Amino acid sequence: MTKDGPDKTVEQTAGGVAMMRALEQHARQPLFADPLSARMLAGWPAVVVAHGPLRAIFLWIMERIGPGFYGAVICRTRVIDDECRAALAGGIERVVIVGAGMDTRPYRMPEMAAARVWEFDLPDVQAAKRALLPSDRAGVAYTPLDLQSPDAGEVLARTTAGSGPVLLLCEAVTMYLPDDAIERVLGYAAGLPPGSRLILTYLPRDVADDIKNSYWSRRLGWRGAFRPEELAARLTEHGLTPLSDVGAEEHRSRLLAPRGRRVNVFPGERVVVAER
C-alpha cells in the first residue's frame, strides 16, 4: 500500500481514536481511565492534548465538523471496557483483539494483566503503536493481518489455537470491511470454544443509508452495515447468542445523564455482545 492508500487511512483513523481517548482524560468526569492514550500521539495531536486552551478549541471545531463523533468514541470505549471486565471476571483468560489499532486495554486494564493477548492489525499500524508504547507487555503477541486476505480466518484460528474460552474484540472494524471479510471474523468466532465472548461494534444500516451522512460515508470509507435484527440473526447463524446491543440512546441515558454531561453522540456505531 502507498502512504495515501488504505493502510495509511486505517493508521490515521486509529490515531484519531487515540486522540479522543486522550482528550477524555481531561474531562471533569471521564468515562474511563486511559493514562496511556496520550503516549499514542505524536506531532500536533500530542501538542493539542497537552494544552487546555488548544483542547477546548479542538473539541469545539470537531463538534462542528463531525457532530457527536467524540461522544460516540468515548461512550463505546466505556461500554467495551465494562464488557471486558465482565467477561474476564467470568474466568476468560485469553483475549483476541482484531483490528487493535491504538487500543491500550492490555496495558491499562488491571483485569487484563494476567490474560494472554493476541493483537491483529495491519503491519504499519502495529509498527506505529509499538514505537509509541513504553515497552512491550509480556503475554501480548502481535500478528500482522489483513482481514481482506482470503486466509485471514485461517490465520486467526491457527495463531490463537488452544483450549479455554476467548474474549474476542472487534471494535470499529466491520464498517470498513466488505461482507466477505466480516464473514471471516464471524466464522472465526463460530469456531471458538463454548463460553467465549464476542464484543463487536457495527454501523447501523439506517445511518449508513441516510443521505445526510453521505459525506462521512465517502470520507471514512464505510462499507459494512447492519440492521440490529439482521446482525442478531447473522450471529445466531454462527452459533452465537446475542446478549446485548446498545447505541447512542443507551449511552446518553446510562453513561452521560447520570454524570450530568451534555455530550452529543453520533448514532453511527452500536456495540453488540454475544456468547459462543
Report the candidate in 87, 93, 141 with the shortest Cα–Cα distance to residue 115. 93
How far is it, in rounded angstroms, from Cα 242 to Cα 186? 13
> Would you say residue 46 has pLDDT above 50?
yes
> Would you say residue 9 has pLDDT above 90?
no
Mean pLDDT of 4-16: 58
| Whole-number pLDDT of residue 10 | 56
pLDDT, tens digit, 9 for 90 and up, residues 144-158:
999 999 999 999 999
| Whole-number pLDDT of residue 11 | 53
Report the candidate in 184, 258, 201, 179 with the shortest Cα–Cα distance to residue 76. 201
Q: What does the block give as the cell for 198?
A: 464476542
| Whole-number pLDDT of residue 5 | 45
DSSP string, 159-224: HT--SS-EEEEE-S-GGGS-HHHHHHHHHHHHTSPTT-EEEEEE-BHHHHH-GGGHHHHHHHT---
pLDDT, tens digit, 9 for 90 and up, residues 172-197:
999 999 999 999 999 999 999 999 99
Report the candidate in 189, 198, 182, 199 with the shortest Cα–Cα distance to residue 148. 182
| Whole-number pLDDT of residue 138 | 81
| Whole-number pLDDT of residue 136 | 73
Cβ contact 104:80 at 8 Å: no
Separation in Å, CA 249 to CA 75, 85, 150, 160, 270? 11, 22, 37, 35, 10
pLDDT, tens digit, 9 for 90 and up, residues 217-236:
999 999 999 999 999 999 99
Res. 12 pLDDT band, cuts 50 70 90:
low
Domains of the chain as residue ranges with CATH: 68-275 (3.40.50.150)
pTM for the whole thing? 0.94
> Would you say residue 3 has pLDDT above 50?
no
| Whole-number pLDDT of residue 15 | 81
> Would you say residue 137 has pLDDT above 90?
no
Mean pLDDT of 70-83: 98
| Whole-number pLDDT of residue 42 | 87
Res. 77 pLDDT band, cuts 50 70 90:
very high
> Would you say residue 6 has pLDDT above 90?
no
